[in-house]
Structure 1
Amino acid sequence: MDETSARSWVEAEWEDSLDEELEMEIDDLLIAREMKFISDLRHTSNIDRKTYFHELLRLQAELVKLQDWIQHTGEKLVVIFEGRDAAGKGGVIKRITQRLNPRVARVVALPAPTEREKSQWYFQRYVPHLPAAGEMVLFDRSWYNRSGVERVMGFASEEQVEQFFNDVPEFERMLVRSGIRVVKYWFSITDQEQQLRFLMRIHDPLKQWKLSPMDLESRKRWEAYTKAKEETFERTNIPEAPWFIVEGNDKKQARLNCISHLLSMMPYEEIPHEPIHLPDRVFNPDYERKVLPDELYVPEKY
């Protein structure tokens, strides 16, 4: 391959690396055109597209270094993502894990507890998902369900909530003492922004699965969730595992700010790797490749 061909190939690979991110943005634009009453209200990002992609790829390259450092040193990291429904937690988690090894960086998003789990120690169902050495675990909602949705929706009694507030600081201190780093993010959006994002999901068939009855009910209980959030901060913001609020009205800013902050919390450094050399293929002049039947192949429609 000559230099010109090699450059063209690299540029094509670079463009492909952007395509997945673009695909996730295109459906927002399409549905917004069909729903002009929403697009007229929606704000534009303060970050232009070129800057956003440049910074996102730079930060994702740093996340790969962080991953290597965690794996090399045997560190254990827990990152908790909480906040309003449709505040952008999933989008940030997706960008963090997009280029990482899923064996090192795992996402945990637990469903509602079973009847058996309801009878267990509250933290018990979360413990098996905590990281071993060389792993980072991202909790897409966490044990803070108890002081949030469970409290507001009446799934937990005031006695259970009070017990949670008494227990969670010590539980997290135990995690930190055991060598687990705990970082907690709360994603905040305005009332109007949440309403607009819910309307987008209602009218977009590709995103309707994101809406649950709990999400819709949360609209009616905005103030109750606000009070629950304020008490959660007041009683669980401990030095060993403090809360950090991510302003989420601008999705692009929220993604970059959160990833940048997470990286700043870790004392990681680049881990040197042995040079990788692609071995030459071994050719056997006596080998004859078999012709496989056509029905084994996926039809080439595109």
Structure 2
Amino acid sequence: MKKVDRLGWAVGFSLKSYGVRIGIRSNEPSTLDRVCEHLPREWENSTSAVVDRVYSILIGGKGPRANVRRLSLLYGDDVRLARSVDPDIVFEALESDLRLFVAELAKHRVFVHAGVVGWKGRAIVIPGRSYSGKSTLVAELVRAGATYYSDEYAVLDSRGRVHPFFKPLELREEGKFKQSKVTVAELGGHAGTKPLPVGLVLMTRYKSGARWRPRKLTPGKGVLEMLFNTVSARRNPERAMATLQRVTAQADVLKGVRGDATQVVTALLQRAEGKARTRT
């Protein structure tokens, strides 16, 4: 950490998100506006001199010769997280690592890798890691009229309710690696603002040509399936288990492979609506 401290930092500030304290500093004052574009929506300034992690952003520029550019660097404490001639890559790395760090250390929430939409007053939660197809399914549900909550994390409180995690959807064209950011407005939908009880948990992955024939899991098996996608499962397993048990006590948990997302949406919304009616 001492080596990074000696690099010379012109500006810095601290913030708090979900109870996690973060410090950010840079060698370039103009960097802060860019930093704010990549922070979690739920953040506030902090005056604490003690933080859980320090991010250090070193912005490069023109080198001593016309054909030479200095690299931009990102450190998390004393670990280098990104290195590129393109500062955009550094800021994207900051956003990704910061979200994951906050998700792991959040004080009063449990974060599950999942897409989330709202339907008829209850949430549909779709756990899954990258490349599982959850963002594509979330986008199709939003196009069908569901309310957007997240395409990355289900943020759960101690009662098992899911809260919005505001960010653009990151959609990948079939056969391509690079993602494009798409706002919920561009999908013709709208975002939720209030916590919802969970009505349906869907454990699924995309398989070309697959038929949608899910099976219902017991609450216990549902907890174990969700635990695999829970960020804080190793750091705080007791709280994670207690929260997930509250979710599966009130929600149906389905598991099965799916084909094209558009073929699943209608059946999924009908199932979720039926579940909502049985709870009213």
TM-score (norm. length: structure 2): 0.28
The answer to which structure has the higher helix fraction is: 1
Larger Rg: 1
TM-score where L is the length of structure 1: 0.27
**Greater relative CO, 1 or 2 (CA 8 Å, sep 6+):** 1
Higher strand share: 2
